[in-house]
C-alpha cells in the first residue's frame, strides 16, 4: 500500500524532473551554439572591418585590437549567456513545477475516483486550452461515473424490492401447500403463474434494456409506413383499454413518409407507451396515439388525460425503476423499466423519446421523433 500511495508522487516528480532536464539541455545547446558561432564568425568579420577602416598602422597594433575585441566579446557573451541561463532556468523550474503539480492533481483525483469517490473536481490549471480541456474532461468523466454508480445502486435496491414481493408470495403459497393450509385449486395456480410471469417479465425487461443501452440489439430494418406500426400497436391493446373503460383514439396525418425501422421493436416501444398511459389514466379517460410530419422525419405521440407528471420528475421518467410515486406505480403493476426500454430502442433507431406534462392531474404526452430513412 505504501508503494502504491507513493507512486503518483514519484511519477509527478519524475515528469517535472524530465521536463526541467529537457529544457535545461535546450538552453545549454542554444548557449553552446551561440558561443560557437560567435567564436567562428566574429573575429573574421572584425578583422575585415579593421582592414576596410585602415585601423592600426602595424601588425602589432592590429593584433592588440583584435585581442581586445575577443576579450570583450568573450566576457560580454559569457555574462549574457549566464544571465539567459539563469532566467531560463527560473522559468523552466516554474513551468515544470506547474505542469508537474497539475499532472499530480489529476493522478490523485484518478486514484480517488478508482476508490469510489466520484465527487472529486480537478481545478483548471490555467496552462492552456489543452490542460483545461483535460481537467474538464476528467471532471465530466467523474460526474458520469458517479451517475452510473448511483443508478447501479438504485437499480440493485429497486430490483431487490421488485423481486421480493413475487418471491415472498410464491414462498408463502408453497409453504401453505406443503402444510395443507391451502389447496392447489384453479385460483391458486393462476396466482402462482401470475407471480412467475411477473418475475419472467422483469428478467426479460432488464435484459432488453441492458442490450439496447449497450447497442447490442439487432434491428431488422424495413421500409414501412408509420400507420401500419400504429395500427398493430393499437390492435394489441384494444382489449385492455376496453376492460378499463379508457377510450383509445388514433390520429394519423395524411401523406406521411415511409420510415426505415424495425416494426417489431417500434411496436414494442408504442406498446410500452400505451401500457404506461393506460396504467396512469383512470376509467373514463382518453389516450390518443397520433403520427405527424416533423422536419426530417415523423413524430409518433401518445397523449393521455391521466395523472400527469410534476415538472421536477420529467427528466427522470426514463431512468430504470424510477417512480414518481413508488407506492402508486407498484399498485398499477408496472415493472418500472418499460419507459427505459422504449427510450433505448428509439435511440437505437436514431430517434429521440421525450416526455411533457402540464402538471399533476393534467395528463402527459410521450413523443417519439424518428428520422426519415
Residue 148 lies in a domain: no
DSSP string of 228-292? HHHHHHHHHHHHHHHHHT-EEEEEE-TTPPPEEE-HHHHHHHHHHHHHHHHHTS-TT-EEEEEEE
Does 136 reside within a domain? no
Dump pLDDT digits (tens) for 88-97. 777 777 777 7
The more confidently predicted of residues 174 and 75 is 174
For residues 164 and 240, state if they share a domain: no
Residue 285 lies in a domain: yes
| 113's grid cell | 475516483
Q: Which cell numbers hold the place of 236?
A: 394489441
**Max Cα–Cα distance, the chain, nearest Å:** 136
Q: List the 297-304 sheet strands across, edge first.
A: 247-252, 286-294, 297-304, 364-371, 352-356
Average pLDDT over residues 206-228: 77
Percentage of the chain lying above the pLDDT 70 cut: 74
Do 230 and 349 belong to one domain? yes
Do 209 and 226 lie in one domain? The reply is no
Do residue 309 and residue 343 come from a single domain?
Answer: yes
**In the predicted model, is pLDDT for residue 2 greater than 50?**
no
- Helix (H/G/I), strand (E/B), else coil: 117: coil
Where a domain ends, among 117, 145, 166? 117
Percent of residues, the chain, with pLDDT higher than 90: 21
The pLDDT tens digits of the residues spanning 28-48 come to 777 777 777 766 666 666 666
Tell me which residue range forms the domain holding 278.
Answer: 222-371
Q: Are residues 229 and 364 in the same domain?
A: yes
Q: Which residue has the cell 430494418?
A: 221
Total domains in the chain come to 3
Q: What is the pTM of this model?
A: 0.54
Buried b (16+ CB within 10 A) or exposed e, 55-90: eeeeeeeeeeeeeebeeeeeeebeeebeeebeebee
Is residue 132 included in any domain, yes or no?
A: no
Give the pLDDT of residue 289.
Answer: 96
Please check whether residue 169 lies inside any domain of the structure.
Answer: yes
Q: How confident is the model at residue 368, as a pLDDT?
A: 95
Give the per-residue pLDDT at 370.
93
Amino acid at each position: 500500500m505504501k508503494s502504491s500511495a507513493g507512486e503518483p508522487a514519484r511519477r509527478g516528480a519524475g515528469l517535472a524532473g524530465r521536463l526541467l532536464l529537457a529544457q535545461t539541455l535546450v538552453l545549454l545547446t542554444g548557449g553552446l551554439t551561440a558561443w560557437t558561432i560567435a567564436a567562428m564568425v566574429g573575429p573574421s568579420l572584425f578583422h575585415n572591418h579593421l582592414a576596410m577602416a585602415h585601423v592600426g598602422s602595424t601588425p602589432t597594433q592590429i593584433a592588440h585590437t583584435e585581442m581586445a575585441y575577443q576579450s570583450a566579446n568573450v566576457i560580454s557573451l559569457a555574462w549574457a549567456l549566464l544571465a539567459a541561463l539563469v532566467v531560463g532556468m527560473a522559468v523552466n523550474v516554474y513551468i515544470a513545477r506547474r505542469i508537474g503539480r497539475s499532472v499530480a492533481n489529476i493522478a490523485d483525483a484518478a486514484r480517488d475516483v478508482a476508490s469510489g469517490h466520484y465527487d472529486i473536481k480537478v481545478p483548471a490549471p490555467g496552462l492552456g486550452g489543452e490542460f483545461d480541456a483535460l481537467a474538464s474532461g476528467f471532471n465530466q468523466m467523474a460526474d458520469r461515473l458517479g451517475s452510473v454508480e448511483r443508478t447501479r445502486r438504485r437499480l440493485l435496491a429497486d430490483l431487490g424490492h421488485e423481486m421480493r414481493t413475487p418471491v415472498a408470495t410464491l414462498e408463502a403459497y408453497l409453504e401453505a401447500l406443503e402444510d395443507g393450509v391451502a389447496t392447489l385449486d384453479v385460483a391458486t395456480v393462476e396466482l402462482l403463474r401470475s407471480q412467475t410471469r411477473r418475475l419472467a417479465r422483469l428478467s426479460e425487461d432488464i435484459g432488453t434494456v441492458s442490450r439496447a443501452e449497450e447497442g447490442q440489439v439487432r434491428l431488422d430494418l424495413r421500409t414501412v409506413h408509420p400507420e401500419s406500426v400504429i395500427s398493430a400497436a393499437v390492435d394489441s391493446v384494444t382489449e385492455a383499454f376496453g376492460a378499463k373503460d379508457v377510450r383509445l383514439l388514433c390520429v394519423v396525418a395524411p401523406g406521411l413518409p415511409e420510415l426505415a425501422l424495425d416494426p417489431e421493436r417500434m411496436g414494442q416501444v408504442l406498446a410500452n407507451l400505451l401500457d404506461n398511459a393506460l396504467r396512469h389514466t383512470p376509467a373514463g379517460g382518453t389516450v390518443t396515439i397520433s403520427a405527424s410530419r416533423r422536419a426530417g422525419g415523423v413524430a409518433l405521440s401518445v397523449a393521455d388525460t391521466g395523472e400527469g407528471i410534476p415538472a421536477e420528475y420529467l427528466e427522470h421518467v426514463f431512468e430504470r425503476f424510477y417512480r414518481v410515486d413508488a407506492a402508486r406505480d407498484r399498485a398499477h403493476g408496472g415493472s418500472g423499466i418499460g419507459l427505459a426500454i422504449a427510450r433505448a430502442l428509439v435511440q437505437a433507431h436514431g430517434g429521440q423519446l421525450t416526455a411533457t406534462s402540464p402538471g399533476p392531474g393534467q395528463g402527459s404526452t410521450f413523443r417519439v421523433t424518428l428520422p426519415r430513412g
